[in-house]
A and B are shown apart, each in its own frame.
Chain A
Amino acid sequence: MKQKTYYFLFFLFLLPVILYLAIFFIYPLGLLFYYSLTEFDYKAKVRYFVGLKNFVEIFQDPETYGYIFRTFLYTGIVVFLSFILGLAYAILVYSIKSKLINTLLRIIIVTPMLIMPVAGATIWRFLLSMHYGWINFILEFFGIQRENWLLSPYAFYWVMITDIWGWSPYIFLIMYAALQQLPQSILDASEIDGATSTKKYMYVIFPILKPVMIIALTLKTLDTYRAFDYIWVMTGGGPGHSSTTLNIITYITAMQYLNFEKSSAYGVLTMLFPLFLTLSFLVYTRVRKFE
């Protein structure tokens, strides 16, 4: 195929997406950058340019580094555990031959994802309360003292548990679909070669699934990076700042301080930070390749 037709075809295929995103994403993104560089004087009702003032404010606030740290901590732990759990779900369901139980288990596993995060977080909040909550009952059974978990230093971790509970079905759906797509021939071949279950998984299935795993991981990481619903409803960023991530402070600044400009600055920061990391990583690997 000629190079020109090649590119033409490529861009033709991309046209609908590019058009759509140009209207509904690039333009709002432009607005976002614009807002982040302004301030709004509500008395004079004028929006005026202040350059990087919002960003300077953000970086001068010592809490910001805590927000960034907590965002990454949350993302790291939740993605890791969700992925393992989701994969385990997929392998479990895949191993079940009975179609009835298979379907039943799939429904059961997917359920937490179908509960609105607000409702799910409210349920967990109730379950974690001191006198009413079931969790304290169960923990008492294991000898752990009753505590108001969402007020303890562990509140953040309980939110992570809820998030993992709520979103590991996401990984499960993707990985299970991928497992179903495995060509039967390869599986049969490996069995003939005498591979045991574990070996089969390790050396045959996982390598084939690797591209899908990477996609699932990437998607989950980006989603968790922006995680909001569970944290907000369960702890509201508290107690104090101990569970406030970048996303939470962005929300608070917009919806509670009614300062949409500074919130846009936080939003830009939230977007640029991983971009900055990825770029530096890419540059680093490129540079290393040339050495």
Chain B
Amino acid sequence: MNKYFKNFSIFIFSILVSVWSWFPLIWFLMVSITGPGGIPTKISLPSYITFDPYIHVIFGGYSGGYFLKSVIPSILDSLIIAVMCSFLTIIISVLPAYAFSRFNFMLSKTIYNGLLIVRMIPFVTLVAPYFVMFNNLKLIDTYHGLIFAITTLQIPPAIWIMRGFFDSIPKEIEEQAMIDGAPLIKRLFLILIPLIMPGISVAASLTFIFSYIHYILYSILSRGAVNPISIRIVTFIQEGIVMWNEMAATTILSMIPMFLFLLFLGKYFIKGITMGAVKG
């Protein structure tokens, strides 16, 4: 294929993909820097620009007759929960992922597929059991309560993803290390896990994102002390007033930590490649 044609088509596709991914967000961005009367109705810029929504949402203020509290504490709450969830999930899931990858007999297959069930439950059916259980364990409205709840749901995908990456590492590498006399633990931690880094960062990213945007379980398991941002955003939509501008500003703000986290993890993508290049 002609090289120029290839570059050109890549260019076109990139533009299309960018427009497709971002045009709803552009609308939201515009809504966030204007007031209620300035929401663009045609494909145009807002009729006037004001940063009031951001000011109200970051520092708290009156909007439409109603007093808004700052959303920054909520974003921090969500961040804490999300980071701890990723952490906890990875720690719990690495060893099982290795186990499933290397020990491949019928029972292990059964359990591995049995993890399917955890992923098949609609969240809303967990509401009542979790509520009762967490209430008895006094975990309601605590950070660790929410973290435990979300981690449960994220363990199967983390195990699967990491197992897939473990699978794709050729057995020769491990055999080589065995011949060199490395015991299991050393093999695992010094060689395999670094090789798995892209897999771990993928699992961590997905867990992070998922715990950040989750809504249903948070709404039931929190009672005011813990305020994840996903709940805060929902409260902007009401029967009486939909605070579009503030909601847009909050959404934009809430995405910043996620971007930062993902970029931070992105470093490991590169690390993983270089590791692979050395080994391969």
Contacts and interface: CB of A to CB of B under 8 A. Distances in A.
The yes or no verdict on A and B being binding partners is: yes
Interface residues of B, number: 92
Given A180-B198, A219-B119, A117 B213 contact: yes
B155 A17 contact: yes
B233 A118 contact: yes
A271 B202 contact: no
Interface in A5-45: 6, 9-10, 13-14, 16-17, 20-21, 24-25, 27-29, 31-32, 35
A127 interface: yes
A113 B214 CA distance: 12
Nearest to A134: B43
Interface residues of A, number: 93
A17 B121 contact: no
Given A32-B125, A264-B128, A183 B276 contact: yes
B133 A28 contact: yes
A241 B269 CA distance: 44
B149 interface: yes
Contact of A123 (B24, B121, B124, B168): B24
B117 A109 contact: no
A116 B20 CA distance: 17
Contact of A251 (B39, B124, B272): B124
B168 A92 contact: no
Contacts of A219: 119, 157, 160-161
B124 A228 contact: yes
Contacts of A112: 21, 24-25
A222 B119 contact: yes
A89 interface: yes
Nearest to A10: B103
Interface in A153-209: 165, 169-170, 173-174, 177-178, 180-181, 183-185, 196-197, 208
A276 B27 CA distance: 44
Contact of A16 (B24, B92, B163): B92
Interface of B: 1, 6, 10, 13-14, 17-18, 20-25, 27-28, 39, 41-43, 92-93, 95-96, 98-99, 103, 108, 111, 116-130, 132-133, 148-149, 151-152, 155, 157, 159-161, 163-165, 167-168, 184, 198-199, 201-202, 205-206, 209, 212-213, 215-216, 229-230, 233-234, 237, 247-248, 251, 254-255, 258-259, 262-263, 266, 269, 272-273, 276-277, 280
25 contacts: A17-B92, A31-B132, A32-B125, A35-B129, A105-B18, A108-B21, A109-B17, A111-B25, A112-B21, A115-B25, A116-B254, A119-B28, A134-B27, A134-B43, A137-B42, A173-B205, A174-B202, A181-B276, A184-B280, A228-B123, A228-B216, A247-B124, A260-B127, A263-B124, A268-B125
Given A132-B39, A246-B122, 17 more contacts: A10-B103, A14-B95, A31-B133, A92-B10, A92-B13, A92-B17, A112-B25, A114-B209, A115-B251, A118-B234, A131-B41, A165-B21, A181-B168, A211-B168, A219-B157, A228-B124, A263-B128
